[in-house]
């Protein structure tokens, strides 16, 4: 089935954006405000979910400390207010010769097929499908570990976490959780789960909260390897002070239903096992009609974000790879690349003007460990946060980045109203998900 279009490609070219993460939604919003509003192009966003969340917040959804609907942006509502179209679906293949993207059947939660397989034509295709944790083929990981690469997976982990926590309450036994990967996601998740337990203790059925035994496993010599060593050391010290066991140089060799096996022969028993290590592109990139890929499945692009094999296809964010200047898979990179394409794609589409190279400007990085501590680094390597009011400056910086993201997508007035709604919601609702 092919989607019906009122306007032909000849009169209104189609810009198809696949993936509604930081890059995809920012690009759809900006192009909708220009080309879409002016009727110069049809902008269509495809995503397998119905709502967007800021990926650096996924660990909060997994822990249950983020549950407010204001923390999700409805694709349909955003599309209607910013002059683009949204269709739910998941890309499964490309037909580059005919400029068509093939979408698989869209299913309801019970498995019923709601939309049959469809094809969507494009004048320009932008792939912004993000990335996944990389299990490196480790035996048992796919079957016995949980992932939190998207909102569905984060909510799935939270459901299991709450049920196991309830079971631990009733039995008066500790709850063991193992997290593989000492990068920002794994490190922040470990702290956020402890924060969640502290909040749940306020609603503890009159019983003492169970002991939460979290083990953070990192294959490298230190956690947070993207940050200066001083931050890694301070973060490990902070995690250990709240009861997290941190093990570095700990390579996982296998997973099963009762825990993880390490290459040194030791075992880490765990009721819940989370894999947050490594980065790779979604497996579907192998079905993209011969597009050149990196070893981790990312689409090889020129510095201007055009595919090396097809000038009609662009890729940005975590799913793209610039061989001459590899960039980290961060929201900061994705956001800047989206802004770059939003500026230059209209002239390329209508005037044939070449898209210039995208120059990434590093503005530093921030990591926040719940309410316990936080650190940031500036481009020159200067570290801030930590110590002073438990790293308040870094934690506020992390919050401000999120608020900036909201304002950028909603606009100033709606963004400020969303922030106000968050504050009101925090007064009337529990601060952690309980059901």
**pLDDT tens series, the chain, 435 aa:** 344 444 444 478 999 999 999 999 999 999 999 999 999 999 999 998 898 888 888 898 898 887 656 678 889 999 999 999 999 999 999 999 999 999 999 988 788 999 899 999 999 999 999 999 999 999 999 999 999 998 889 989 999 999 998 898 888 899 999 999 999 999 999 999 988 887 766 556 556 778 899 999 999 999 999 899 989 999 999 999 999 999 999 999 999 999 999 999 999 999 999 999 999 999 999 999 999 999 999 999 999 999 999 999 999 999 999 999 999 888 899 999 999 999 999 999 999 999 999 999 998 888 888 888 888 888 877 887 776 545 677 777 777 887 888 888 888 877 778 777 777 766 666 565 655
127: its two tokens: 């792939």
List the one residue out of 351, 355, 363 whose CA is nearest residue 305.
Answer: 355
396: its two tokens: 């506020």
Ramachandran class of 310: left when φ > 0, alpha when ψ lies in -120 to 50, beta otherwise: beta
What's the rounded Cα separation, in Å, for the pair 375 and 387? 9
Answer for the pair 172, 244: CB distance below 8 angstroms, yes or no.
Answer: no
What's the rounded Cα separation, in Å, for the pair 218 and 182? 5
- pLDDT reported for residue 5: 45
361: its two tokens: 């400007």
- pLDDT reported for residue 213: 95
Other Cβ atoms less than 10 A from the Cβ of 155: the count is: 17
**Per-residue DSSP letter, 387:** S
What's the rounded Cα separation, in Å, for the pair 342 and 314? 12
Q: Where are the alpha helices (DSSP H) in 172-262?
A: 184-200, 229-241
241: its two tokens: 């002070």
**Calculated CA dihedral for residues 183, 188, 194, 199, nearest 10 degrees:** -170
Task: Please say whether the dihedral angle defined by the alpha carbons of residues 105, 106, 108 and 109, taken in this order, is positive or negative.
Answer: positive
What's the rounded Cα separation, in Å, for the pair 370 and 360? 29
Return the H-helix or E-strand segment holding 124.
strand 124-127
- pLDDT reported for residue 200: 67
- Kindly report the CA angle at 151 between 374 and 61, in degrees rounded to 5? 40
The burial class, CB within 10 Å (0-12 / 13-18 / 19+), for 246 is buried
The burial class, CB within 10 Å (0-12 / 13-18 / 19+), for 49 is middle
List the one residue out of 390, 397, 388 whose CA is nearest residue 367.
Answer: 397
- pLDDT reported for residue 92: 96
- pLDDT reported for residue 410: 81
What's the rounded Cα separation, in Å, for the pair 72 and 50? 10
What's the rounded Cα separation, in Å, for the pair 245 and 236? 9
What's the rounded Cα separation, in Å, for the pair 92 and 104? 6
- pLDDT reported for residue 199: 72
Q: Are strands 299-300 and 320-321 parallel, antiparallel or unpaired?
A: parallel
267: its two tokens: 């075992």
Answer for the pair 391, 368: CB distance below 8 angstroms, yes or no.
Answer: yes
């Amino acid at each position: 089935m092919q989607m019906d279009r009122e306007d032909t490609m000849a009169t209104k070219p189609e810009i198809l954006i696949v993936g509604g993460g930081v890059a995809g939604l920012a690009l759809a919003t900006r192009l909708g405000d220009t080309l879409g509003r002016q009727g110069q192009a049809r902008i269509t966003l495809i995503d397998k979910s119905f709502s967007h969340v800021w990926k650096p917040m996924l660990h909060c959804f997994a822990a249950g400390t983020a549950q407010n609907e204001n923390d999700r942006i409805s694709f349909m509502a955003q599309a209607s207010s910013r002059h683009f179209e949204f269709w739910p679906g998941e890309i499964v293949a490309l037909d580059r010769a005919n400029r068509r993207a093939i979408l698989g059947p869209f299913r309801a939660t019970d498995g019923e097929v709601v939309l049959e397989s469809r094809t969507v034509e494009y004048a320009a295709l932008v792939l912004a499908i993000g990335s996944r944790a990389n299990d490196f083929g480790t035996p048992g990981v796919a079957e016995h570990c949980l992932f939190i690469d998207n909102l569905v997976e984060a909510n799935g982990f939270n459901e299991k976490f709450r049920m196991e926590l309830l079971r631990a309450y009733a039995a008066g036994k500790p709850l063991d959780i193992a997290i593989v990967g000492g990068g920002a996601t794994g490190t922040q998740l470990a702290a956020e789960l402890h924060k969640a337990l502290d909040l749940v203790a306020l609603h503890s059925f009159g019983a003492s909260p169970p002991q939460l035994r979290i083990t953070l496993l990192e294959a490298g010599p230190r956690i947070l390897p993207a940050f200066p060593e001083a931050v890694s050391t301070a973060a490990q010290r902070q995690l250990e002070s709240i009861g997290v066991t941190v093990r570095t140089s700990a390579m996982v060799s296998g997973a099963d239903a009762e825990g993880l096996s390490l290459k040194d022969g030791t075992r880490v028993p765990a009721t819940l096992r989370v894999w947050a290590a490594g980065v790779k592109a979604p497996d579907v990139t192998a079905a993209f009609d011969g597009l050149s890929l990196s070893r981790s499945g990312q689409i090889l692009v020129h510095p201007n974000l055009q595919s090396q094999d097809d000038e009609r296809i662009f890729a940005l964010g975590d799913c793209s790879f610039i061989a001459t200047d590899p960039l980290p898979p961060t929201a900061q990179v994705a956001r800047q690349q989206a802004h770059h394409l939003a500026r230059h794609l209209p002239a390329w589409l209508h005037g044939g003007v070449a898209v210039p190279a995208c120059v990434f400007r590093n503005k530093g990085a921030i990591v926040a460990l719940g309410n316990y501590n936080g650190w940031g680094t500036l481009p020159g390597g200067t570290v801030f946060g930590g110590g002073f009011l438990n790293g308040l400056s870094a934690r506020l910086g992390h919050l401000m980045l999120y608020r900036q993201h909201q304002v950028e997508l909603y606009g100033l007035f709606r963004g400020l109203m969303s922030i106000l709604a968050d504050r009101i919601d925090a007064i009337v609702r529990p601060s952690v998900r309980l059901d």
